[in-house]
């Protein structure tokens, strides 16, 4: 089918660009730079080792310095174990099997620690993740075969060759905590034979709705449900919420947040608690002892030693085979008892669930999921539920060419266009004052999203205005270019002045301990650096520093704050707005605020896009327009 051939081409382009960027990052940089970029842990210390599946060796290591550097080493990714003594030869490849804080376990493709692991300083470095691309590619090829033979109704529906069908008379459970549009979404999910879409604008309780729908699905057909999302964070959130509702959840893969509650849901933890595990552990210990004895006989001794060494290794291998089969039994037992299995998109192909099929697969945050990766879980399903919002952030794509040719269009977006009958829009939001929400609802949701009575008029204090646009036009606040990022020092100073003034006003209503939470957002990284510096040089704001966070729009997706400031940064005579033209990203920024939203920008520069001109008009209509001169 042309549909999948095009996706395969786009995936190939993306893979090549991703590999080029990885190569640039690794080949031309020193170990110190790679460590700063989060690709490498170095130096590390070995904390233990044990035999694992397939006679491989799993080594537990800890990074001993530079522990606060954020890194990209995650469970399931391929990595290199190396020594700086001779990094060209002293290296062995493996896969990270566990990562938590400053410790990780890496399963190496060897059966004993190499001799060089005793020389020099050791490190672990991320390798380019070909495995994930291979798995995604295989899924697309498989989907293509099914589509060409018209063997799979779901594939035909998702590619637009057929229409989804629904049971007309499904009884809807009464769920008191859901509103009308949320109940409609649950009913739609239960009634769907192949496809249902939950469109959840900001603050409309998408997670709550999904959790109730999943419980209803389990009660309806007593079958296992697979729940996936593109990020570990999203998977974690759903896993925890389902667990709180008394659902038996099995979390496959490594949680991003390491909380006790989440860890208890993981396969590793449940295996360790299993009644049959004691026996397997005993056997494993025995195998390790045989192996250690074998290591005492060096390969270069005489024939008798070599034979003795081989006999001990053979015995260790034989025991490990028994361990593997009893572990497999435990895994099968845990999987069969679970009501819901949760994983990332690619994680849904891990060995313990690779060959399972499910009646229903739920893809959350589908607005941020690359379509090719979605096909891994879809192929395991008879019915798919897509949940998300295609009017918020789209997926991160490395190749601009692939994005332009359609990789940035998600399956969620396609299904909303192709099959409107499968879509339920959640229409009541529980986050924002109605004036903060109004513009977003008008532009993105055809005015269908309304504020729930509990938030519609809530404010920081009686008489405070929930929305302000502070216009810097005519102030001569010209942007500067720093590297590849724009900054606007005067705009940053004005924003801090405005915030300091607001803080003074709020001090008569709040103590520093219960001061409202504040987010300062800008699309430009350099502007954030400036804002952080200025925040530290604003003595009026120091009592509230713990309540103020400064960050990019992307890092606030899914979050909310009482007060949000957005520094638009761009101000130039040409009306160039760069990636401010990504209005979906702006939708995310503007809908983080609960009680007050302050946008600071230059209306003349922003006027090059109708989205901003209309926003200024919207603000004027609410008496929320101010000139920056009022603060100068």
Tell whether pTM > 0.85. Answer: yes
- The CA distances from residue 88 to 83, 85, 96, 234, in Å, are 9, 9, 21, 39
- The CA distances from residue 285 to 27, 68, 120, 290, in Å, are 41, 34, 29, 9
- Please state the length of the chain: 632
Into which CATH architecture does domain 132-248+345-426 fall? 3-Layer(aba) Sandwich (3.40)
**373-385 CB burial, b ≥16 within 10 A, e <16:** bbbbbbbbbebbb
Residue 196 · residue 204 · CB < 8 Å: no
CA distance 504 to 506: 5
Q: How is 332-379 classified by DSSP, letter by letter? A: HHHHHH-SEEEEETGGGGSTTTTT--EEEEEESSGGGS-HHHHHHHHT
DSSP 562: E
Q: Which of 23-27, 126-130, 229-233 has the lowest mean pLDDT?
A: 23-27
pLDDT band at 27 (very low <50, low <70, confident <90, very high): confident
Element (H, E) at 487: strand 485-487
Backbone angle region of 12, left / alpha / beta, with phi > 0 → left and psi within -120 to 50 → alpha = alpha
Strand 57-63 relative to strand 103-108, pairing: antiparallel
Q: Where are the domains of the chain?
A: 38-128, 132-248+345-426, 272-336, 431-631
Cα distance from N-terminal residue to C-terminal residue, the chain: 62
Greatest CA separation for the chain? 93
Residue 304 has pLDDT above 80, yes or no: yes
What is the arithmetic mean of pLDDT over 243-258?
Answer: 90
**253 Cβ contact partners less than 8 Å away, ≥ 6 residues apart:** 75, 76, 232, 235, 266, 343, 344, 347, 350
Cis amide linkage into residue 295, ω under 30° from 0: no
What is the arithmetic mean of pLDDT over 360-370?
Answer: 97
Three-state secondary-structure class, residue 481: strand
CA distance 373 to 570: 35
Q: What is the pLDDT of residue 299?
A: 60
Tally of CB atoms within 10 A around 493: 18
Tally of CB atoms within 10 A around 170: 16
Q: What is the CATH number of domain 431-631?
A: 3.40.50.300
Tally of CB atoms within 10 A around 2: 9
165 phi, psi to nearest 5 deg? -120, 160
Model pLDDT for residues 385-394, shown as the tens digit of each residue: 999 999 999 9
Return mean pLDDT, the chain: 94
pLDDT band at 55 (very low <50, low <70, confident <90, very high): confident
Q: What is the pLDDT of residue 297?
A: 76
Name the residue with higher pLDDT: 54 or 205.
Answer: 205
CATH fold, domain 38-128, is Elongation Factor Tu (Ef-tu); domain 3 (2.40.30)
CA distance 541 to 499: 8
Do domains 38-128 and 132-248+345-426 share one topology? The answer is no
CA distance 567 to 385: 37
């Amino acid at each position: 089918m042309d549909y999948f051939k095009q996706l395969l081409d786009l995936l190939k382009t993306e893979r090549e660009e991703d590999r080029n960027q990885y190569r640039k990052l690794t080949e031309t940089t020193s170990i110190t730079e790679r460590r700063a970029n989060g690709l490498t842990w170095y130096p590390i210390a070995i904390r233990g080792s044990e035999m694992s599946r397939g006679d491989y060796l799993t080594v537990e290591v800890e990074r001993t310095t530079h522990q606060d550097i954020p890194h990209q080493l995650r469970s399931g990714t391929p990595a290199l174990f190396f020594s700086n003594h001779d990094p060209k030869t002293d290296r062995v490849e493996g896969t990270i099997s566990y990562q938590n804080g400053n410790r990780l376990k890496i399963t190496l493709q060897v059966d004993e620690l190499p001799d060089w692991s005793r020389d020099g300083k050791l490190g672990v470095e991320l390798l380019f993740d070909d495995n994930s691309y291979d798995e995604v590619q295989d899924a697309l090829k498989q989907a293509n075969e099914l589509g060409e033979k018209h063997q799979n109704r779901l594939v035909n529906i998702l590619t637009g060759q057929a229409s989804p069908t629904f049971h007309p008379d499904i009884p809807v459970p009464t769920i008191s905590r859901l509103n009308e549009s949320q109940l409609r979404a649950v009913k739609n999910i239960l009634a769907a034979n192949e496809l249902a879409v939950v469109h959840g604008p900001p603050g409309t309780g998408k997670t709550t709705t999904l959790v109730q729908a999943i419980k209803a699905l389990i009660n309806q057909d007593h079958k296992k449900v697979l729940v996936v999302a593109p990020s570990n964070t999203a998977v974690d959130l759903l896993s925890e919420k389902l667990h709180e509702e008394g659902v038996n959840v099995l979390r496959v893969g490594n949680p991003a947040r390491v909380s006790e509650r989440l860890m208890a849901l993981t396969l590793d933890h449940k295996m360790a608690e299993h009644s049959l595990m004691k026996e397997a552990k005993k056997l494993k210990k025995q195998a390790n002892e045989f192996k250690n004895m074998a290591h005492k006989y060096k390969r270069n001794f005489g024939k008798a030693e070599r034979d003795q060494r081989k006999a001990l290794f053979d015995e260790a291998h034989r025991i490990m085979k028994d361990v593997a089969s009893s572990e497999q039994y435990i895994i099968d037992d845990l999987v069969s008892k679970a009501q819901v299995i949760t994983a990332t998109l690619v994680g849904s192909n891990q060995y313990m669930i690779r060959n399972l099929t499910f009646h229903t697969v739920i893809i959350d945050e589908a607005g941020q999921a690359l379509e090719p990766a979605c096909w891994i879980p879809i192929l395991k399903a008879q019915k798919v539920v897509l949940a998300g919002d295609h009017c918020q952030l789209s997926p991160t794509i490395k190749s601009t060419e692939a994005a332009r040719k359609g990789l940035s269009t998600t399956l969620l977006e396609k299904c909303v266009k192709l099959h409107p009958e499968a879509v339920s829009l959640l229409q009541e939001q529980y986050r924002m004052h109605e004036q903060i929400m109004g513009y977003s609802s008008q532009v993105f949701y055809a005015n269908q999203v309304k504020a729930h009575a509990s938030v519609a008029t809530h404010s920081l204090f009686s008489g405070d205005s929930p929305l302000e646009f502070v216009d810097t036009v005519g102030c001569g606040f010209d942007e500067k270019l720093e590297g590849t990022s724009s900054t606007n020092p005067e705009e940053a100073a004005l924003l801090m002045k405005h915030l300091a003034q607001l803080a003074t006003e709020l001090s008569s209503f709040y103590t520093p301990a219960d001061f409202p939470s504040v987010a300062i957002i800008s699309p430009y990284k350099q502007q954030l650096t400036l804002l952080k510096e200025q925040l530290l040089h604003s003595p009026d704001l120091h009592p509230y520093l713990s309540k103020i966070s400064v960050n990019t729009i992307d890092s606030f997706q899914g979050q909310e704050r009482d007060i949000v400031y957005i520094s638009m940064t761009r101000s130039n005579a040409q009306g160039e707005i760069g990636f401010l033209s990504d209005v979906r990203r702006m939708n995310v920024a503007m809908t983080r605020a609960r009680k007050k939203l302050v946008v600071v920008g230059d209306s003349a520069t922003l006027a090059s896009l109708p989205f901003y001109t209309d926003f200024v008009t919207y603000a004027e209509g609410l008496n929320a327009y101010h000139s920056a001169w009022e603060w100068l």
